Amino acid sequence: MVPMIRSGILAFGLATMASGGAWAQSPPSNPVLSADRMQMVSCLSQSGTAASSCIGSVAVTCVRAASGDRRAAETDCARREEVVWRERLTFASQAVMRNADSGARGQFAALQVAWEGYAAQKCAFYGSMQPSVRMAGMQAGCMLREVASRSLELERMVGQRNLVRRPSNPPSIIR
């Protein structure tokens, strides 16, 4: 790939990852977001190797507590949980970027941009296949699942590979 194009993709990818969850994030002092984070951490710590069983846990609790229009609650609650997963995705992406060499960072940034586009198109397609009254809820649920799954994938990768850069010439102790 031409270096200028590659650096452009890298810059775009880094900007996308850095701002990926920003559109949906609430202020850090938001008590609802803090409670959602705590609920997710609790679920993940209790799930063991079945972390994917936590996908939807915040949204289901939220919908059960909601009053009024159930369809609107399903959409809002899915988006609310997506914020938590997107934060986790951002942190996992930053860990990958921080611990990879420049070539791998460029590849990862391009991969993340492609993944974001894929997830958006997939969920738009699924939503368009539904009756109009269910479209928003289906799209929100789809994005929740996609973001959560990607977050778990990257968190596993970071944990399994322990992507810590090792110095090429480790220091030696002379005694």
Q: Is the dihedral of CA 38, 41, 45, 47 positive or negative?
A: positive
Q: Under a CB-based contact definition with an 8 Å cutoff, are residues 34 and 87 in contact?
A: no
pLDDT in tens, 80-106: 999 999 999 999 999 999 989 989 999
- The pLDDT assigned to 136 comes to 93
What are the sequence ranges of the domains in the chain?
Answer: 32-161
Longest distance between any two alpha carbons in the chain, whole Å: 75
Per-residue pLDDT tens listing for the chain (175 residues): 434 333 333 333 444 444 444 434 445 567 888 999 999 999 999 998 899 999 999 999 999 999 888 899 999 999 999 999 999 999 999 999 998 998 999 999 999 999 999 999 999 999 999 999 999 999 999 999 999 999 999 999 888 765 444 445 555 666 5
